[in-house]
Structure 1
Amino acid sequence: MFELTFDLALLLLGAAFAAGFVDAIAGGGGLITVPALMLAGIPPAQALATNKVQGAFGAATAAISYAARGLVDLRSQWRPALVAGLAGAAGAVLVSSIPTDGLRLVLPVVLIAIAVFFAVKPGLDDLDRTRRFSPLVFAATAVPLIGFYDGLIGPGAGAFYMIAFVSLAGYGVLKATAHTKLLNFASNIGGLLAFALIGKPLWLIGIGMGLAQVLGAMLGARLASRIGARLIKPLLVVTSTALALRLIWQMLQGG
C-alpha cells in the first residue's frame, strides 16, 4: 500500500518543478517525474496515469505563457489542438491493444537522430523558414500521428512535435517550441481522459505536483522567450539524448 510521507512529498514536488522548467523549454519532463513517481513506490500503470495529471498543468502553463507573449495564436490553433487531443485519447484507449515493442526498439535511435539534427544542423534559429507542408496538411498528418504516439507511449512526443514544426511547418525554434506546448497539452489531456478510466491516477498527488509544475513551467517559458534558440537547442539535445539512454537502459534491464 502506497503511503505518502513528508520526504516523498518534497521529492515529488521538487521533481515536478524541475520537470515543468525543462518541459516548457525542450520537452522531456517525464524523464524526471515518471522515475520519481515510481521511486516513491507507486505502481507503473498508476505512475503513468498520475504523470498525465501533473503534466497537463505544466503544458497548459507553458502554452498560456507563450501565447501571452504573442508566440502562438490560440484562436487559429484550436483545430490542430483538437486533432491532437482526439489522437492522444485514441492512443491511450488502444494502449493495451497495440504491440509497441518494435516501436520501443526504434525510439532511442530516432531520439538520438533528433539530438544530432538540432546539434549539427546549421541555420536553426528563431527565424521562420520555407515550409514544406501547408497548415491544413500539417494538421491532418503530423499532428494526429504524434498525438496518437503521445497517448500510446508518450516519451519524446515534445521532441517529435518540435522537429515537425521546424522541418515541415518552417517555424523558427522559439515559435516551434510555443506551438509544441499547445499541442502537447492537447494530446496530454486526451490521454489523461482515457487514462483516468484505465489507470486510476492518484489525483491528489497529481494535482499537487501539477501546481509545482506550474511554477517551473512559468520560469522555463519566461527564460525561453527571452533567450530563444540559444537556450532551447542545447536543452533539447540533452533531453532527447537522456531519454534515448534511459530507454536503452530499460531494455537492457528487461524493463
Structure 2
Amino acid sequence: MSIEYIVALCGIGFAAAFIDSIAGGGGIISLPGLLVLGVPPAFALGTNKFAASCASFTSSLTFIKYRVYDGDLLKYLVFGTLLGAILGVKTVLLLDSSQLRIIIIILMMFVAIYTLFVKNIGNENKFEGVNKKTIAIGLIISIILGFYDGFFGPGTGSFYIFLFLTLLNYDFKISAGNGKILNFVSNITSLIMFALHGKILYSIAIPMALAMILGARLGTKLAIKNGARLIRPILISVTLLYAVKMIFDITNH
C-alpha cells in the first residue's frame, strides 16, 4: 500500500466517523470509499465494520462520559439490540437484502421531510420516564433496528435518532447518545461475524480505525455542545443523501 492510499483511507474514515457520531450515516462515505479504492466488496464490508466499530465505541464512551444518554432505559434495550443483530446477521445469509432498498428509500425520505418541517422536534427532552410503556416501545425499536443493522445496515444511526425523538420524546442529544450506544452493540455483533469469516483486511482497517476514532471524538463533542442546532441539519442531509445514493444504485444496477 502506498502512502497516498493510506492517507486517502484515513481522510475518508475521519469524515465518515465525524458525520456518523453526530447523526448516523457515516457509511455513505466510508464504504463507497473503500470500494472506489479497489477493496473487494466482502472485504470492504468487513474492513469498514471493524473501523466503524472502533469509531462508534469511541463516540459511545464520549456520550457516556458526559452523561448524554439514558442508562435507565438502555439497560433493557441493549439486549433487544443484541438479539435483533444476531437474527439479522443469520437472516442475511438466507435472503437477498436488495429487496429492502425501495422500502428504505421511502423511510429515509420520510425521516428527512418530517425532521425538516416539524420544527419543535427534539428541542426539549420530554421523555416521560422508564415504565412498562417506554420499555416496550424501546425494545421494539432496539430489536427492529438491531435486526436491520445486522441484515442490511444503511442509516441505522439516523433511524435510531429519529425514533427516539418521535416515539419516546427525547431531545436530539439524548437521542444521539442512546442511538450511538445501541448502534455500537449491533456493530460489534456484525464485526464478530465478519472476523470469524476472515473478511477483514487489518492492514487497511487499523489505520482507518485510528482516523475514525479522531473523527468520532470531534463529532461527538460538537454534537453534545450544539445539540439540535447541529444534529438536525446533518440528520436531514444524511438521510436525503442516503436515499439519493440508493436510488442511484438501483437505477444503475
TM-score (norm 2): 0.93
Q: Distance between the aligned counterparts of 2:219 and 2:247, measured in 1?
A: 28
Tell whether 2:217 aligns with 1:218: yes
Within 5 Å, which residues of 2 pair with 1:78-93? 78-93=75-90
RMSD of aligned residue pairs (Cα, Å): 1.8
Structure 1 residue 94: Cα displacement:
2.2
Q: Match for 2:124 among 110, 124, 127?
A: 127
Q: Match for 1:110 among 92, 107, 110?
A: 107
Tell whether 2:16 aligns with 1:22: no
Aligned to 2:239: 240
Query: 1:15-66 CA distances to partner (integer Å, 9 max, x unpaired)?
Result: 1111111001011110110011111211111101111100001111111111
Structure 1 residue 75: Cα displacement:
6.8
- Give the letter aligned to residue 184 of structure 1: N
1:46 and 1:201 in contact (8 A); partners too:
yes
Tell whether 2:227 aligns with 1:228: yes
1:127 and 1:172 in contact (8 A); partners too:
yes
Gap regions ≥5 residues in structure 2: none
1:85 and 1:189 in contact (8 A); partners too:
no
Q: Distance between the aligned counterparts of 1:134 and 1:66, measured in 2?
A: 25
Q: Distance between the aligned counterparts of 1:140 and 1:77, measured in 2?
A: 9
Aligned to 1:154: 153
Q: 1:115 to 1:76 in 2, by over 3 A?
A: closer
Structure 1 residue 167: Cα displacement:
1.1
Query: 1:133-161 CA distances to partner (integer Å, 9 max, x unpaired)?
Result: 83320243111111110011110111111
* Percent identical: 33
Tell whether 2:28 aligns with 1:34: no
Q: 1:55 to 1:218 in 2, by over 3 A?
A: same
Look up the SS of the partner of 1:126 in the other structure.
Answer: coil
Q: Distance between the aligned counterparts of 1:135 and 1:193, measured in 2?
A: 30
Q: Distance between the aligned counterparts of 2:52 and 2:146, measured in 1?
A: 15
TM-score (norm 1): 0.92
2:70 and 2:174 in contact (8 A); partners too:
no
Structure 1 residue 83: Cα displacement:
2.5
